[in-house]
Structures are given as C-alpha cells and as structure tokens.
Structure 1
Amino acid sequence: MIGLVLAAGAGRRLRPYTDTLPKALVPVDGETTVLDLTLGNFAEIGLTEAAIIVGYRKEAVYERKEALERTYGLKLTLIDNDKAEEWNNAYSLWCGRDSVRHDVILANGDTVHPVSVEKTLLAARGGDKKIILALDTVKQLADEEMKVVADPGKGVRKITKLMDPAAATGEYIGVTLIEGSAADELADALRTTFERDPDRYYEDGYQELVDRGFRIDVAPIGDVAWVEIDNHDDLARGREIACRY
C-alpha cells in the first residue's frame, strides 16, 4: 500500500499564500504544512511510499521533495497534472490511476486530519470492500460540504454537494482507501466523468461507479477534529487543529 495526495489545486481563496505556493504547502503549524501532516500520517501507519499529484506551483513541491523524503522516510513520486489550472480534480485523480494499482490511501491536499482517520480506514478493510470513504457522521452539515447518503446494506447511494443536508448520512472528509482491484473501474469512471464535464470532482467519479452498480463503503471516523481548508477562516481553524497533532 502507498499514499496518494492530490496537491495540484491553486487555492485562490487563500491568497496571498497561494500566489507562490500550492494550497497543500500553506503553513498550518509553524512551518508545517498540510502536506507535511498528511505525509506524517502515512509514515505513522507504516507506509514507505507515496505519490503526489502536482500542478499549480508544482516547482515548490519539487524543491521540497528530497527534504520531505528525509523527514518522513517515504519514497516520493511526483505526478504532473498538466491541466491543474483548467480542469477540476476528477482529472487530477485520473492522473494518478497507475498508483492506485498498488492499493492506496488517498488524501486531499487541503484536509487537516489526525492519523486516526487512516487507522479507521485500515481497520475497515476486508471482505469484498474495494473503496472505503472516511465519513464524518457527527458534524452539522450545510450547503458547501461533500455530502453522502449511505445504506448499511448497499454502501454509498449518493455523493454530492447538491443535496439537502438533512438527507445526508454524513460528510466525506477527503480521505479514501482504494484497493488495487478497483483501479481499472475507477479510472474508467473518472475518465467518463471529466470527459462529460472537465469541471467535475472526483467524487462525481465515485457517483458514476455507484450508478454502474459498484459498491463503495464508508467508515465513520467518530468525533474527530478536522477541516478542509478552502479559505482564510478554514485556515485559522486548520491552525487551531494542527497544533494538537
């Protein structure tokens, strides 16, 4: 198993930080970045390799690659997303399709979360589960969250921001365990998704899989402090959380 980080996004709502850095390299605890926290989580669960999808301001990640490898004991592979500033992240995850063949824990490059999330996903493995989403079933939801409706017997039925929060089982937090056996079907669903509309999220690719009859499971993470960093208010919350980890 390897780690996979989506770190190609521009994060324009975090300017001026993202004038020169991708969102994943915005500091959240001293000089520690979201990417540092994620790679630290990967190392703590015993991973020795990780791939990072880079795009916007990718040179900043390339410059730090060797230092990150030394710090976290991970062999890093950087994968270029040539459309990072034009297309959304369904295409970005598709760029990492070969990495998924190894079994991966995927983490969005803007999600501050504790290693307990990765441990929860690993504990949920087994049986015929191929894709498992980390799900927050505690948080009060609003319009912006990536909401999920899950059935205990059938797994994910719906994943989208565009639903009544009251109808959702919980929020997908941007961390997924993907078994290598799902790689080809996921890659095909992602391709279908971004060819239909390049502005789609990879979660729309998950929905495409579900619509095809593919089972996606969820793992509730419990009452855990985490945040997806989209704007300066989120960044302030991320800094409050990151110092605990």
Structure 2
Amino acid sequence: MKTLLLAAGVGSRLGGLTDNVHKSLLEINGDQTLLDYQLRALASAELNDIHIVVGHCAESVANKCLAYSDLHSIRLIKNDYYRSKNIDWSVYLGLQSVEDDVIYIEGDMVVHPKILAMLKSATADVCLIVDNKPRSQYVDTVVRVHPDNKVVSIEVKEHGFHTEASLKASLGEFVCAIKLSNRARRLLLAKLQDFTFDGVIKFYNAINDISSEVVFDYHDTSGLEWVEVDNVEDLARAKRLCAETNFGLSKGFAQ
C-alpha cells in the first residue's frame, strides 16, 4: 500500500500567504506545518511508502521531507506544469508512479490517523471517506448513493456550493482521501490519459465513470477530526483543532 500526496499547486485562495510558501508548509502549531501533520499521521497509520507530487516551492517541500527520512520512504514527482495545467495533471503523474494499491490525499488535508487506518484496511477497489456532519457552511463536494442501484458517486459543485436540501439527500461531505486498488488505479489512468488537463477538474468524474467495473465502498469519519485548508478560515480552524485535539497525534514532535 502506497500513499500519494498532491503538493504542487499555488494555493491562490489563501492570497499572499502562499506567494512564496507552499500551502502544505503553512504553520498550524508553532513551527509545525500541514505537511508535518500529514507525515506524522501517515507514520502513525504505518503508511510509510509515500509519493509526493511537487511544483510550487518544490525545493522547500523537499527539504521538509528530508526531516522524515527516518520514518518514511519518500519519492518526489516533479510537476513542471503546475501553473498551466489543472490538478488532474498532478493526479495523472502521481498515479503513474505508484504502481500499487494507493491512498490518495490532497496536500491541504490533515486527517486523524484512524481515518487513514480505515482506508488502509478497506477491501473495496474504491473507498471514499464521508463526513455526515459537514464541517463547513460551504460544502462543494458530497457523496451520494443512488436509491435504486445503490451506486456510490461523488458530486462536485464546480462553481458553487450544495444547498441544505442537497446535503440532507447525500451521505455527507466528501473528505478528499480515497483508497484505490491497483486495478482501479489502472482504470483511472486509462481515463486520465485522454484528458486535456485544463478547465474543469474531471478526476472525480473519472472515479464515477469506473463504478460499474469496480467495487465501491465508503466509511464515515465517525466524528474523527479532519480539515481541508482551502482558505484563511480553514487555516484558522486547523490551528484551533491542533490546540484542541492535535488530530489524535501525540503532543511531542520527534522532528
């Protein structure tokens, strides 16, 4: 089982905070960053074979990873087109590199290690994480199950947010952490290779498109802490969760 982290993008929704710093290197607990928390959570879940797609501030991300060389085997995949192509290109580069079952996590996510353990133990080809109590008043992505055929799917509001009625009709907010079997990974690569890698992000649509060929499942977060840092409000929430729960990690940092 490998882990794929995407850490190439500029993080423009955080404004000037990410002009010269990658989003994953923003500090959320003293000098500890989002990436510190991700790598420590992965170590706690015994997920130690990690591939990271880098682009913006790649050298700084690489230097942070060096501090974890005793805990993880980390491979960096360079995305030279992180400004001109959308996130699907990072996904394509990353899925090409892993060649195994993989846990996919976006680089602005911090999740409780037990959520990672859920994914690690999942037997389905595709396993999604869902929070049935959305953490934000603005939810752009949910997971649904069709009432007739019970097919699980991801629904994205590309330029908007789900209404309260839409949320109630869903399983809950989608947490951007996915387990993919090697078979599912290969099927997704076949879809991705035909993408133009510009405009609307289509990766989640590709996952939905392979639903008839693989076994889908989902797990609820069961109240475990997680945060996706898209904007300054999310960053403040991440800092608060660090102070209150430390995302289920021990208070001391080995690094």
Give me the TM-score of the superposition, normalised by structure 2.
0.84
Structure 2's unaligned 5+ residue stretches are 247-255
Structure-2 separation of matches of 1:146 and 1:53: 23
SS in 1 for 2:188: helix
Structure-1 separation of matches of 2:153 and 2:62: 39
The corresponding residue for 2:155 is 159
> Are the counterparts in 1 of residues 192 and 206 from structure 2 also a CA contact under 8 Å?
yes
- The alignment-based identity, stated in percent, is 28
Structure-1 separation of matches of 2:213 and 2:182: 18
Structure 1's unaligned 5+ residue stretches are none
Structure-2 separation of matches of 1:68 and 1:21: 19
- 1:165, distance to aligned residue in structure 2 (A): 2.8
- 1:95, distance to aligned residue in structure 2 (A): 0.7
- 1:166, distance to aligned residue in structure 2 (A): 3.4
Structure-2 separation of matches of 1:76 and 1:132: 23
- 1:187, distance to aligned residue in structure 2 (A): 0.9
Structure-1 separation of matches of 2:197 and 2:107: 25
1:131 pairs with 126, 131, 154, which one? 126
SS in 2 for 1:15: helix
Structure-2 separation of matches of 1:3 and 1:170: 24
Does 1:40 pair with 2:56? Answer: no
TM-superposition CA deviations, 1:55-97 (whole Å, max 9, x none)? 1121211232321323xx1011000112211222122111112
Structure-1 separation of matches of 2:233 and 2:225: 15
- 1:141, distance to aligned residue in structure 2 (A): 6.6
> Are the counterparts in 1 of residues 89 and 197 from structure 2 also a CA contact under 8 Å?
no
Give me the TM-score of the superposition, normalised by structure 1.
0.87
Structure-1 separation of matches of 2:186 and 2:41: 27
Structure-2 separation of matches of 1:47 and 1:158: 25
The corresponding residue for 1:54 is 54
> Are the counterparts in 2 of residues 159 and 206 from structure 1 also a CA contact under 8 Å?
no
> Are the counterparts in 1 of residues 154 and 174 from structure 2 also a CA contact under 8 Å?
no
- 1:146, distance to aligned residue in structure 2 (A): 1.3
Which amino acid counterpart does residue 59 of structure 2 have in structure 1? Answer: E
The corresponding residue for 2:172 is 170
Which amino acid counterpart does residue 50 of structure 2 have in structure 1? Answer: A
SS in 2 for 1:139: coil
- 1:190, distance to aligned residue in structure 2 (A): 2.5
The corresponding residue for 1:121 is 119
Q: Mapping of 1:181-220 within 5 angstroms?
A: 181-192=183-194, 194-195=195-196, 197-210=198-211, 213-220=213-220
CA RMSD of aligned residues (A): 2.3
Which amino acid counterpart does residue 157 of structure 1 have in structure 2? Answer: S
> Are the counterparts in 1 of residues 51 and 98 from structure 2 also a CA contact under 8 Å?
no
Structure-2 separation of matches of 1:5 and 1:236: 22
Structure-1 separation of matches of 2:112 and 2:82: 27
- 1:237, distance to aligned residue in structure 2 (A): 0.2
- 1:200, distance to aligned residue in structure 2 (A): 0.9
The corresponding residue for 1:230 is 230
Which amino acid counterpart does residue 173 of structure 1 have in structure 2? Answer: V
Which amino acid counterpart does residue 177 of structure 2 have in structure 1? Answer: V
